[in-house]
Chains A and B, each alone.
Chain A
Amino acid sequence: MEFLREILWQVDPIRYFFENISRVITYTQNHLELTLVGVILAIILWVSVGIIIYRYPRLSHGVLGIASIVMCIPSIALYGILLTLPGFGLGRTSALTALVLYAMLPIVRNVFVALRGVDEAILDAARGMGMSKQEVLWEVQIPNALPTIFAGVRVALVMMVGIATLATYIGEQNLGRLIQHGITRTHPTMIIVGAIVVSIIAIGIDLLMGLLGKHLISKGLQLEENK
């Protein structure tokens, strides 16, 4: 045991990780908190927007256009812009707002495309059997659109883990801080630790979302078509 520790201690990032474990944990907690709150807000907001532009397709062009533009703004610049707005400033509000904005394109677009993609015959049958508009939406369309919607959320979430790193420049105490400080102090070990932990979180969340999807999405939709 002691021998193993000796060897591992020779590896700088591992030693750094264990020597600063409490700080890394705090940063990780903050990082996860920011992303999770962000993704929950993003789901509530952007799924609704997706449904609205599906119902009123005339809006879709404009809304998806805005989403694309937001996606094109470099994240560090977006943080900068938000900082200057009254009521935002340094801190969580700006960080969350930026994350939610970045999630707009993957979620809104996937909701819109998924709802449009539901087989017209299924909807015709649902209406023909006497389902109301709301029943058709919630009991037929959304469950059938769920695989695509879920894929959008998954992409958004993984992206948010990465973009959250940069929120350290506007005062977030998260894993980005390790990287930021590592760069300013030319301390490569810090950078490596920060980068690796962020990557592990992103990959872990992606795997977790995969499992969650298997449970949330109806088995009937995960089957191969019997032709």
Chain B
Amino acid sequence: MIRLDGVGKDFGDFTAVRELSLEIPEGKTCVMVGPSGCGKTTTMRIVNRLIEPTRGTVYIDGEDYKKKKVEILRRDIGYVIQEVGLFPHRTIAENISTTPKLAGWDDKKIKKRVDELLDLVELDPDENRNKFPRQLSGGQRQRVGLARAMAADPPVMLMDEPFAAVDPITRENLQNMFLRLQRKMKKTIVFVTHDINEAIKMGDQIAILKQGELVQADTPEELLANPKNQFVADFIGVDRAIKILDLFSTDEVMWTEAPVIKKQSMQDEARKLIESGEKGIPVIVEDEQGKKFWFDLDELEKEGSLEDIIRPLEITLDPTNSIKLAMARMLEHNNDAVLIKGEEDEEPGILTLRGIRNYVYRICESSPGEKVGK
């Protein structure tokens, strides 16, 4: 756990960070985001004392970090920067061994760790171990940069716009790789970016900074749903409703208890459902071959004819997929529902366009962002 306790930094007359308090729970990623000059990088660099705070201090696992020798403190904090900063005079293996060597590991252990890390960042150890940084592409260099930062398995990592210098496709690959790694490693991470989309994607917690002050620190969901003021709402952008789609997985929005009826007897069963007072729910229809269809009960009441409104359920997604993906699939197939696989022996769920619409609307409603939405 990292706790910033009223930290601030002045450079002469200029106040880069005013007085910032923030707690980052163990194993979580906190993304600091804001326009340039907001103090996000300064705040991050205070955490490993590359910048000495003018006031306040930082507690790492409850201990005031000024009690430790600065070199020792930094060895327990992985450090990744946009420019990567690999040592051009050393091979990839030597670069990755930097912190283990400083920590005095023996050669055999270091060698094993290097190969393990290269595998982890999806680079072939045999092919890359003895190369020099100048022989790698930008994306590969950042992979090595990540491996080097993780080499001594530090519990804390600082990442300063780590994926900003590569092309969009490489960036996405690196982000996804890092998310996969983080799911396993559970490091406590301070991540700096100026890109709100990256923040939403990478963060468990997002801290929005403005002119050296913390404006709002919340989960991405909370931030999108309830931007605290105009600045945050503007920073998130006018398309926050679309961004929300990225944040929720299909199993959070789907219907889990949609009635399943047989195709041969669907007319009768549908009537029974209406009579029993069910309203506004999707109904799954199954034929003898196990092929699935669906219709909306409300629509049936309005239209009256089941044949006109029944549609095939052609798309099946995982419960962990984002609702954005579900939405994309629906648009592609000109359909307005997808089937969500049940985990293990659970019943499958159904996710409808109407369901998504209502869900997102409920989140956006009642928040000040509504006025801002334009």
Contacts and interface: CB of A to CB of B under 8 A. Distances in A.
A220 B85 contact: no
Nearest to A144: B89
Interface residues of B, number: 32
Contacts of B267: none
Interface string A116-143: 0001011111111111100100001001
B132 A223 contact: yes
A218 interface: yes
Given A223-B134, A224-B134, A128 B79 contact: yes
Contacts of A220: 87-91, 132-134
A19 interface: no
Contacts of A123: 85
B75 A130 contact: yes
A119 B85 contact: yes
Contacts of B158: 128
A181 B145 CA distance: 64
Interface string B135-175: 11100000001001100000000100000000000000000
Interface centre among B50, B88, B89, B135 (most CB of A within 10 A): B89
Nearest to A125: B85
B48 A128 contact: yes
A132 B102 CA distance: 10
Given A128-B81, A129-B99, A131-B71, A122 B132 contact: no
28 contacts: A119-B83, A119-B85, A121-B83, A122-B87, A124-B50, A124-B81, A124-B85, A125-B86, A126-B87, A127-B50, A128-B50, A128-B74, A129-B102, A130-B72, A130-B74, A130-B99, A131-B71, A131-B98, A131-B102, A143-B87, A219-B132, A220-B88, A220-B89, A220-B90, A223-B134, A225-B134, A226-B135, A226-B137
Which 6 pairs, one residue from A and one from B, show the smallest C-beta to C-beta distance?
A: A125-B85, A220-B132, A128-B79, A121-B83, A218-B89, A130-B74
Interface of B: 48, 50, 71-75, 77, 79, 81, 83-91, 98-99, 102, 132-137, 145, 148-149, 158
